[in-house]
Amino acid sequence: AQDGFVELAAFQKTHFDQVLVNLDADADYRWTIEAGWDLDRWWEVSTDVERQRMVAALGTGRLVLTAGYASLHTTTAGHEELTRNVYWASRFARTHGIPLRTWITDDVPGTSFAVPEILKRSGIEFFVGGMNTPFGGRVTQPDHGDRPFWWTGPDGSAVLSWITFDSYAEAFD
């Protein structure tokens, strides 16, 4: 398992380095960092100059960091674990003066009803769900025409939300 972790961390370094090159090469290029863990791995092995370049790119809005540390199976995570999942990106955004507005749950079967409360209380405005339809089933509600929608949690907290019907592959259509 440790070898896989080392390989994945090394991939994150080369991957994010290439994202920064792409941002410099193409003014229309955009990228979203879906999980803070990925940036955390890159940050650990990058130079101060590379880190400054990353923060500058995050400040432009063409490169975006989302609020979750990991794309969790939120229906199996407790309230405390979900809350702590926002800590790393929130601290990073505050420290570096970058916006943190969106939580993405991608490639998982679904999302817990507790998420709107956690996001709202954390100052996160938007939720995007790219559900893994082979494992979680096809999303049928809200209807295609009802997106985006305000997802309201049991406590009344609401976040503007978008849920894909065909997993994250929806963007290709």
pLDDT digits (tens, 9 = 90+) for 128-160: 988 776 666 666 667 766 789 999 999 999 999
**What integer pLDDT is reported at residue 34 of this predicted model?**
92
* Strand boundaries in the chain, DSSP class E: 31-33, 63-65, 102-108, 126-131, 149-152, 158-163
Return the sign of the alpha-carbon dihedral for residues 100, 101, 107, 111: positive
Q: Nearest to residue 101, comparing CAs of 83, 80, 124, 121?
A: 124
**So what's the pLDDT on residue 85?**
93
d(CA 49, CA 139): 44
Q: What is the three-class DSSP state of 87?
A: helix
Output the pLDDT for position 118. Answer: 94
**CB neighbour burial string for 143-173, b if at least 16 within 10 angstroms, e if fewer:** eeeeeebebebeeebbbebbbbbebbeeeee
Residue 78 has what pLDDT?
A: 84
In this prediction the pTM is 0.87
| DSSP secondary structure code for residue 169 in this structure | G
Q: What is the pLDDT of residue 102?
A: 96
Which residues in the chain come in under a pLDDT of 50? Answer: none
Residue 122 has what pLDDT?
95
Q: What is the pLDDT of residue 137?
A: 65
Residue 128's SS3 state is strand
